[in-house]
Structure 1
Amino acid sequence: MLTGMDEAGLRLVKEAAQVRMVDPKDREAVAAAARDADAIITRTAGAIDAPLLGAAKRLRVVGRHGVGFDHIDVPAATARGVQVVYTPGANTEDVCEHVIAMMIGLSKHFPTMIRELEAGNYAVRTTMRGREIRGRTLGIVGFGRIGRRLGEACHLGFGMRVLYHDIVQAPEEVELRAGALRVGYVELLRQSDYVSLHLPLDASTRRMMDRASLANIKEDCILINTCRGPVVDEEAVADALDARLLWGYGADVFDVEPPPLDHPLIGRRDVMLTPHSAAQTEEGLRNMATMVARDVLNVLSGRRPDNPVNDPFAVERERTALGLEPLYR
């Protein structure tokens, strides 16, 4: 059962299994299709929660067509002997480029310049001053694949100083290539001209960028969120923009998706917002589709996946306890 994917990955799955396409927003249709499904491949919409997993008696694997898996109840999947896989690294370049586009666009006042030009106000070119990003300080919160690639690109491409905050220290060779220094969260906020968020969504990161964090952020900082919407308190960001604590805000994700029409950030000229589209490139979609298809087929064929979310050994242990057939040979 799939919820939409690139033809390259879809072709792989169709060669090995019967495929049903289901609208993820239609919960009844999803539940009905899941009842006798061996595998589910999901993108961002629709929760793969405990009730759905409990009703899917034949289910062996859930494939996440993407990186974030907060809409999948992974503990519930493990408890039912269901493997969860995902596609780390498939959209690293796409998201990295998206962040840099927002850094440049906000630094040069693109939202205002474009709208004023469309309105016939050519003179706007002399009324606002942008700034260069070269040589400024980039703070990266979450130094995983995307954060590391972003640091490397900005350090090598723009001569930026790179600070990062993460629960673990990156290998020395990674830090050297990105010119990156690991610092505390508050220190990063106080020193960075740009702050880019690259965190998974969990209890510790929800609303991490709140009013207290924004009170510590460097004046005229540009804040960018391309990870998960609920990591940021959007009302607090709007207030920080109103108070001119922030130069601008860029986001590809929202607390609620799709965002309501009266969202406090939509329509502002000091923001760049996109509809969760950073990975919507030919390359990114193809990479995600083929990676998830291969790993789902690995599990269905009795082979351990390349990119598991939950521990395959824990999954097998639960299957044994439940009296289910082993997944892996």
Structure 2
Amino acid sequence: MAPNTKRVFYVNNVSAPIYLEMLAKRPDIHVDKLVNDSPDAEAEPILAQAHAYQIGSSRQELAMRFQGYAPLLQRCPNLLVLSTNGAGFDTVSLKDATEAGVAVVNQAGGNKEGVAEHVMAMMLTLSKRIVMSDHAMRSGATYDRRDFMGDDVQGRTIGIIGLGHVGSRVAELCQGLFQMRVLAYDPYLSAETIAARKAEKVATLEELLAQSDYVSINCPHTAETRGMMGAAQFEKMQRHAYFITTARGGIHDEAALEAALRQKHLAGAGLDVWEDEPPPSDHPLLHFDNVLVSPHTAGITRQSRHNIARIAAEQMIDILDGKKPPRLLNPEVWPVYRERFGRILGFTPEA
């Protein structure tokens, strides 16, 4: 192994082979692989030496002992960065990482096309009642095709919660393809920024819900957004409206959504994310004909995985070369991080 080697590890898998291919071109970077059930005798030496961890983004797929919380960080005295495999960072505690002087980065934007297209697919499929008519035709029972009368999306209103990479692309597609009115609720963006992203800023979530024919959740899962969509919020939506989420489970209250659908307060829902993934087969939301479901696959396209892996590798190389990453999720850690980086790797990152 070359002197001054930077040690990177991952657990189970990376997003795509290009990640490993790009790091392999650097003789000063060594990559180790662990799996969920790696014995401690194998894992501990790797953890003790690691400078960087390319961490999975799914809580259900990554063993708790390898998730980015204080217990793991205490086993990694030389760890400088936690880099998630996707835009989400559910497997990492920003608080614990910051207290340990560890930078956290994600790969936001890498899967925006895949997720935005999934939103559009759900919106169109629900509006045209394609799943319901498909099931009726296959059932062998008699039916009246007029029972599956749907709606055009042209000129209607979509409300987007969170106008980041994915939300902005959804806005662009809706406005450009179907000349829809696009509302956005994002308290962290100015009206000017939102307008530049093809949307109209609303001051409150309630205002967006009351005016939208479709509501799309595209914000991250944080302490602030957890439970954002509950019974009171579904009550504010129009009865002909559809609820679509490709963000993260936990942002919407599944029991409240079930109640709203059962009471016919909503026209239907498109759900790609769940509190527990995959959801159990007897989950109540799986038994509505007007609910379109997928198992958190919106961002799992070949192109999205390749993009995320490439971005992750580029960002990891820059970090280990001492550059400040463009997707730093806890910027307040930087002064302590720089000191630790210099002490551990022998040179100090840029200010």
When the two structures are superposed, what TM-score results if normalisation uses the length of structure 2? Answer: 0.86
Structure 1 residue ranges without an equivalent (≥5): none
Task: Provide the residue aligned with 1:66 in structure 2.
Answer: 86
Task: Provide the residue aligned with 1:217 in structure 2.
Answer: 237
Structure-2 change in CA distance of 1:298 and 1:318 (3 Å) = closer
Structure-2 change in CA distance of 1:319 and 1:54 (3 Å) = farther
Alignment of 1:246-261 (within 5 A): 246-261=266-281
Q: Is the 8 A contact 1:138 1:193 kept in 2?
A: yes
Please state how far the C-alpha of 1:39 moved relative to its aligned partner.
1.4
Structure-2 change in CA distance of 1:110 and 1:323 (3 Å) = same
Task: Provide the residue aligned with 1:43 in structure 2.
Answer: 56
The 2-side partners of 1:278 and 1:15 are apart by 31
Task: Provide the residue aligned with 1:317 in structure 2.
Answer: 336
The 2-side partners of 1:201 and 1:283 are apart by 24
| Partner of residue 133 from structure 1, selected from 153, 156, 161 | 153
Alignment of 1:97-108 (within 5 A): 97-108=117-128
Q: Give a deviation string over 1:8-47, Cα, whole Å, max 9, x none.
A: 1221123333323333x44866964433322111222332
Q: Give a deviation string over 1:180-203, Cα, whole Å, max 9, x none.
A: 242421111111110001112222
Superposed CA RMSD: 2.4
Aligned length: 327
| Identical-residue share of aligned pairs (%) | 33
The 1-side partners of 2:37 and 2:221 are apart by 24
Q: Give a deviation string over 1:205-230, Cα, whole Å, max 9, x none.
A: 11111001111111121001111110
The 1-side partners of 2:160 and 2:52 are apart by 36
The 2-side partners of 1:308 and 1:79 are apart by 15
Alignment of 1:76-225 (within 5 A): 76-121=96-141, 123-170=143-190, 172=192, 174-175=194-195, 178-225=198-245
Alignment of 1:228-267 (within 5 A): 228-267=248-287
Q: Is the 8 A contact 1:155 1:162 kept in 2?
A: yes
When the two structures are superposed, what TM-score results if normalisation uses the length of structure 1? Answer: 0.91
The 1-side partners of 2:38 and 2:251 are apart by 26
1:10 aligns with 2:20: yes
Q: Which has the higher contact order (CA 8 A, sep 6+)?
A: 1
Please state how far the C-alpha of 1:124 moved relative to its aligned partner.
4.9
Please state how far the C-alpha of 1:63 moved relative to its aligned partner.
1.0
Q: Give a deviation string over 1:115-155, Cα, whole Å, max 9, x none.
A: 22222357453322111111111111112222122112101
| SS of match in other structure, 2:182 | strand
| SS of match in other structure, 1:261 | coil
Please state how far the C-alpha of 1:5 moved relative to its aligned partner.
2.1
Please state how far the C-alpha of 1:238 moved relative to its aligned partner.
0.9
| SS of match in other structure, 1:35 | helix
Structure 2 residue ranges without an equivalent (≥5): 1-8
- The amino acid that maps onto 2:313 is A
Please state how far the C-alpha of 1:327 moved relative to its aligned partner.
5.1
Deviates more, 1:181-190 or 1:25-34: 25-34
Q: Is the 8 A contact 1:224 1:251 kept in 2?
A: yes
Q: Is the 8 A contact 1:153 1:178 kept in 2?
A: no
The 1-side partners of 2:311 and 2:156 are apart by 36
Task: Provide the residue aligned with 1:328 in structure 2.
Answer: 349
Deviates more, 1:161-170 or 1:284-293: 161-170
The 2-side partners of 1:277 and 1:232 are apart by 18
Structure-2 change in CA distance of 1:121 and 1:180 (3 Å) = farther
Structure-2 change in CA distance of 1:179 and 1:251 (3 Å) = same
Structure-2 change in CA distance of 1:232 and 1:39 (3 Å) = same
